[in-house]
Chain A
Amino acid sequence: MRKKKRAQKIVFKSEKDVPLMAMSTGTMLHNKTGAWRNIKPVIDLDNCIQCGICWKFCPDVCIFVEDELPVIDYDYCKGCGICAEECPTKCIAMVEEEK
């Protein structure tokens, strides 16, 4: 199971809050890249053979595994289509995003 980290916005109220140098203190998780998506991957779990290939090739680290099955985190999935392309059983379909 993937441990979910917190997405947190960091706000500097004044220069006093700003570190001495441009130094990060949080993750990019606040940046919900799912908004970039035009088409989205949908997994037909019935045909999934649990090979882990989609998980392995996702450049956005947004396929995780729950109960031994792949789950897509649509908050971050950019819709690149790699998972669908690489799935050996072709059980991931890229479908138009409803806007």
Chain B
Amino acid sequence: MDLTFTEEEDAFRARLRRWLGEVMPALPAKPAADDWPGRRAYDAAWQRMLYDAGYAGLHWPEDAGGRGATPTQHLIFLEETERAGAPYVGANFVGLLHAGPTVAAEGSAEQRARWLPPILRGDEIWCQGFSEPDAGSDLAALRTTAVRDGDHYVVSGTKLWTSHAEVADWCELLVRTDPDAPRHRGISWLAMPMDAPGVTVRPLRTLAGSAEFAEMFLDEVRVPISHRVGAENDGWRVTMVTLSFERGTAFVGEVVACRRMLGALARTARDNGRWDDAVLRRRLGRLHAEFAALWRLTQWNVSEAAAARPPGGGGGGVPGTGGSVFKLRYSHARQELYDAAAEVLGAGALDADHEWVAGRLSSLSYTIAAGTSQIQRNIVAERILGLPKGR
């Protein structure tokens, strides 16, 4: 067990810090939460800066356009960029964390050449069209159909909760290509251009008031067969590759941010007198231990991934199951953090414009999105503990 860094890792951190110190002051002001074109431009510009400085796709394998960095370097990158207050992936989330890694792992040489460089440069934004009105936790129940017509699929159906659909250029789409096969064996993974005729996006307002996700109607959308990644009807397996990435290191920066926020909560409480309340103080003390341990769990998972890393690069995925343990605990801890923030604010917690109040609202999605807590517990119980499947 070694928590120290090698000379190379220290040098990597120093170089990154120097670069962040240079570029951060030049960053434009953050756009308003509901200014979607502005947000896209801001996120894309940051990604372009990363690309130009050699930090884009840091932990992607080199043959996918990445830098082949180790998982530890990737961790340092996420830690330092968050510390510096740099933007997070934002609208590039799906491209960098799901669709890109899937194409890198499962795509043909042409597909990689077509889709990966624009993701890394921040030129193209992706969204994820998996969930449907009748297929949420039970994703394999999805009904959007894709029927072959010459060298195209004709796709029809409804997708739901599609984040960033309004600004996306591409959608990683799960469709049913064989309605007669067993559920998991009739699904394919397609890259659908969002400007194709027949795609209609209707934004949905979240409880936080913003339009983070959308409903997407697909009416006989023609998608070239060459846009399918992986074999026909093998989309379920292809998707599981994606999901293990999603549950891996996606929250590293956020844990760093939560730890910083905890310090701010304590200082605010001391200034406004709430610190005298021993119950609140103890609650903050407990959260201190909680987030420190979540950071250690992250380091543990990353070290495990490093040990399992294939020779020749690539970050290795954090195993989906270790990611489930983390996500379960983190999503609840985040909600507790924002509830504690509300207690520190008192009546100030009713001010919708307060940053912590917006954070409190959005924290509610953490136990739902990317596999609900109940589903994560099923995964932990069945795949790690080996308990029998059941109802």
- Decide if A and B are genuine partners: no
